[in-house]
Structure 1
Amino acid sequence: MNETSIVVSGLRKRFGPTLALDGMSFTVGPGQVTGFAGPNGAGKSTTMRIVLGLDAPDEGSALVGGRPYRSLPCPLRVVGSLLDAGALQPGRTARNHLLWLAHSQGLTAARVDQVLEQAGLTGVARRRAGGFSLGMRQRLGIAAAMLGDPPVLMLDEPFNGMDPEGIVWIRGFLRALAAEGRAVLLSTHLMSELQDTADHVVLVGRGRVLADRTMPELLARHGSLERAYLELTRDAVEFRAAGSPEASR
């Protein structure tokens, strides 16, 4: 098993009567950005939470570098994640927020300053995070994900709240991380950004994988990622307004 990978195998998960995952299986390999996309309720967040040990599956497994997340002695050194940019103590400064995380993993203050610079936050490091815009909180979340210099990254909707400069920065940053040999899982609803960033795409719906293809394969067949998404997830959308482009199909 490659140490730089996420392997999801046969995940099934129920929440009461709702089947959230129905045999979800895919691999995020090294050296590429893997896009993870699907309609609301498709199982993306549940899958990512299971990978990070925040939820337990009813069946199946999710391994990071060949091991369950909960068995990792220093998880931030293996996988960095951003699931919720608002998950911070608003009274702490950006630097103190990262210092708290760093100390929990035996990481240094020097590393905190390095990731603040990477994320473009050096100038606001001593400002309270509660006063940050959503885009700045996203940058702080990415800085936190990078603290342990991990070989695996998982980011959920990192483009939200970003201005155009921030979007261009994230796009280039993620591609640079993949070029270093890291495995990057990127979940987003923004198909245009995913098309410009990802090398490989996993499209999901109703808790199952609908397509697991390289970006060139999807584009060759469908013309654009947006068209691929609409065509492949057509029957997996929970709610559709009358008169929408797919409603009459």
Structure 2
Amino acid sequence: MTIEVHGIRKRFGSTVALDGLTFTVQPGRVTGFVGPNGAGKSTTMRVILGLDAADEGTALVDGAPYRSIPRPMTKLGSLLDAAALQPSRTARNHLLWLAHSQALGGKDVDRVLELTGLTAVRNRRAGGFSLGMRQRLGIAAALLADPPTLMLDEPFNGMDPDGIIWMRGFLTSLAAEGRAVLVSSHLMGELQDTAHHLVVIGRGRVLADAPLPDLLAVHGTLEQAYVDLTRGAVEFRTSDETR
């Protein structure tokens, strides 16, 4: 099960958001998806999910557009915005609402609450959750239908140190089960400890698409690789940075 992005181009008015983006997310590994603000990461994820339409190119999940897949959460689970929930619903009811849309039931909800450490707070209203807890709830939603492919945008945001350690191990375990996992993040240290492969983009183009060890062999650290590769694609720089 893969995510295949091929030749995606997307404009918003006169602004080019994606400029021929091509990469593949393979099963059995965590693929880090990184780039400066405005590089096109969120737009790419929205195109994969069919929330934005590409002007050119294709984005396929298991060989088909996401929007054409019956019960699509059984193929690809996603977390784009941890705040996208009805705050008056309890955590369990939020997940039940999603589960019913995919012909799933309460046992599936209880399974993912346990997986993400939310069983004890399942009857609390989600609007009162911290950002870290909302991230866990979003990941629980992504896992509801036990999909072979996952796509997570900034899952480390709002996590305390214990949560970050849990997230690292959790992502690694998902890949070890043979799932394809795409993770967008600005936290290079966390990706260096988690990712197997990196796709680096800037200004809507792929700047690097390589195994993590290959990047580390050249640049030493993932943070340095990021700085070196995206130097010409950063929108806002100080005068010192342009020297």
TM-score calculated relative to the size of structure 2 = 0.99
In the TM superposition, what is the alpha-carbon distance from 1:108 to its structure 2 partner?
A: 1.1
- Alignment partner of 1:47 out of 44, 47, 64: 44
Aligned: 1:25 with 2:54 = no
Letter matched to residue 172 of structure 2 = R
Aligned: 1:218 with 2:215 = yes
- How many angstroms apart in 2 are the aligned matches of 1:146 and 1:208? 30
Deviation per CA, 1:58-95, whole angstroms, max 9, x where unpaired? 00000000000011001110000000000000000000
Identity of aligned residues (%): 72
How many residue pairs get aligned? The number is 243
Matched residue SS, 1:178? helix
- Alignment partner of 2:129 out of 132, 136, 142: 132
**Residue number in structure 2 paired with 1:83:** 80
- Alignment partner of 2:200 out of 198, 203, 206: 203
- Alignment partner of 1:144 out of 131, 141, 144: 141
Aligned: 1:59 with 2:56 = yes
- Alignment partner of 1:98 out of 76, 90, 95: 95
In the TM superposition, what is the alpha-carbon distance from 1:242 to its structure 2 partner?
A: 3.3
**Residue number in structure 2 paired with 1:36:** 33
- Alignment partner of 1:6 out of 3, 6, 20: 3
Moved over 4 A (4+): none
- Give unpaired runs (5+ residues) of structure 2: none
| Residue correspondence of structure 1 range 173-192 to structure 2 within 5 A | 173-192=170-189
- Alignment partner of 2:169 out of 161, 169, 172: 172
Aligned: 1:162 with 2:159 = yes
- Alignment partner of 2:242 out of 238, 241, 247: 247
- How many angstroms apart in 1 are the aligned matches of 2:63 and 2:177? 20
Letter matched to residue 42 of structure 2 = S
- How many angstroms apart in 2 are the aligned matches of 1:143 and 1:70? 21
- How many angstroms apart in 2 are the aligned matches of 1:227 and 1:157? 20
Matched residue SS, 1:233? helix
- How many angstroms apart in 2 are the aligned matches of 1:189 and 1:104? 32
- How many angstroms apart in 2 are the aligned matches of 1:89 and 1:187? 24
**Residue number in structure 2 paired with 1:109:** 106
- How many angstroms apart in 2 are the aligned matches of 1:160 and 1:241? 26
Matched residue SS, 1:232? helix
- How many angstroms apart in 1 are the aligned matches of 2:72 and 2:106? 18
Deviation per CA, 1:103-145, whole angstroms, max 9, x where unpaired? 0100010110000000000000000000000000000000000
In the TM superposition, what is the alpha-carbon distance from 1:18 to its structure 2 partner?
A: 0.1
Matched residue SS, 2:193? helix
- How many angstroms apart in 2 are the aligned matches of 1:35 and 1:122? 29
Aligned: 1:122 with 2:119 = yes
In the TM superposition, what is the alpha-carbon distance from 1:240 to its structure 2 partner?
A: 1.2
Matched residue SS, 1:150? coil
Matched residue SS, 2:99? helix
In the TM superposition, what is the alpha-carbon distance from 1:247 to its structure 2 partner?
A: 3.3
Letter matched to residue 98 of structure 1 = L
- How many angstroms apart in 2 are the aligned matches of 1:125 and 1:241? 46
TM-score calculated relative to the size of structure 1 = 0.97
